[in-house]
Copies of this chain bind each other. A is one copy, B any other.
Amino acid sequence: MSTDARELVRRLQDLLRGVRLIKQRRAEERPVIPLGLVGILAQLDGLADGCHARELALRARLDPSTVSRAVATLVSHSLVERRPDPVDRRAQVLALTPDGRTALTDTHDWYARLLDRALAGWTADEVAALSAGLRRFTRDLEVALENHENLEAAR
């Protein structure tokens, strides 16, 4: 049990505090997108021709009910469009509306501006290194969680 891991735990705790502060700031400043639904919107983007809610739930690792409610909210804000699936009448095809797309890019811009201020003293390489480290870490973390799941299931 390395002390490195322990140190990282502390760093993550601190980071989460920072993330909470970001969210608060964002919430009070721009009630554009209901916030927290941004993840859903981001998933929907880059999928061009829409997808099922089920797909979103899988990708975000969220419960289908959570996604269902999120989508309902987004639809009520006209940020997402819900069309019947022609080949499966239980399902719906979801897609970003133009409004949804602009709201999403606005949101991303907002975050990017904040981070640009925060990263003013960083070189591009340093930022890239952090991004790469986080990507690798997140991936390895999810693998570790999954393995553990399998161990549990095997018992």
Contact = CB atoms under 8 A, between A and B. Distances in A.
B17 A60 contact: yes
Contacts of A2: 112, 116, 119, 124, 127
Given A1-B109, A118-B143, A119-B140, A129 B133 contact: yes
Contacts of A60: 17
Interface residues of A, number: 60
Contact of A17 (B1, B10, B61, B147): B61
Interface in A81-116: 108-109, 111-116
30 contacts: A1-B109, A1-B112, A2-B116, A5-B115, A8-B115, A9-B111, A11-B131, A13-B39, A13-B42, A14-B138, A15-B137, A17-B60, A18-B138, A18-B141, A20-B61, A22-B141, A25-B145, A25-B148, A114-B148, A115-B141, A118-B140, A118-B143, A119-B137, A120-B140, A121-B140, A122-B140, A126-B133, A129-B129, A130-B137, A133-B133
A134 interface: yes
Interface of A: 1-2, 4-22, 25, 39, 42, 60-61, 108-109, 111-122, 124, 126-131, 133-135, 137-138, 140-145, 147-148
